[in-house]
Amino acid sequence: MEQVPEVVRVEVLRVVFDESLEAPVVILKEVDGDRILPIWIGHPEATAIVYALEEIDIERPLTHDLLKTVIETFGGKVEKIVVNKLVSNTFYARIIVRKNSTLFSIDARPSDSIALALRTQAPIYVAEEVMKKSAARGNF
């Protein structure tokens, strides 16, 4: 498994809509600080995140519910997710899954990773380097 960068713990503050770009934005807030990290995401992922935040039950599983079930069915547990890099204004993330004593690092979009983390109560982290590049300070 690749080396994990220095990270800071964040929580999902909310999902907002950027009218100028007509796109949803998930707002992450540093747990032990005042930095805010906005990440523009797709509409389906925004819906999945909002459903998880508001604990809305739906009749049929969404993709992130299915992924949670598959991981758990095969004996895995989502340990954490890490938004680990930013390249050309695109964020990247890793889902860290534990099965027994083995850790697996899976490449994923941050939006999918966040939706899965909320469903599994896994902590969310952002690489310090990414926070330094993109975070703002204060209230959002």
- Examine residue 40 and state whether it is found in any structural domain, yes or no: yes
- Examine residue 87 and state whether it is found in any structural domain, yes or no: yes
Instruction: Please state the domain count of the chain.
Output: 1
DSSP letter (8 states) at residue 116: H
- Examine residue 107 and state whether it is found in any structural domain, yes or no: yes
- Examine residue 42 and state whether it is found in any structural domain, yes or no: yes
- Examine residue 30 and state whether it is found in any structural domain, yes or no: yes
CA proximity to 10, closest of 126, 135, 129 = 126
Residue 53 belongs to domain with CATH number: 3.10.690.10
Q: Which amino acid is at 9?
A: R
- Examine residue 1 and state whether it is found in any structural domain, yes or no: no
- Examine residue 2 and state whether it is found in any structural domain, yes or no: no
What does the chain come to in residues?
140
Question: Which tokens sit at 51?
Answer: 């459903």
- 69 is in which domain, residue-wise? 7-137
Which residues contact residue 102 at a Cβ distance below 8 angstroms, ignoring those fewer than 6 apart?
Answer: none
pTM of structure: 0.90
pLDDT (tens digit per residue) in 48-63: 999 999 988 888 888 8
pLDDT (tens digit per residue) in 130-139: 999 887 765 5
Pure H helices in 1-140: 43-53, 63-73, 110-120, 128-134
- Give the pLDDT band of residue 75 (cuts 50, 70, 90): very high
- Examine residue 25 and state whether it is found in any structural domain, yes or no: yes
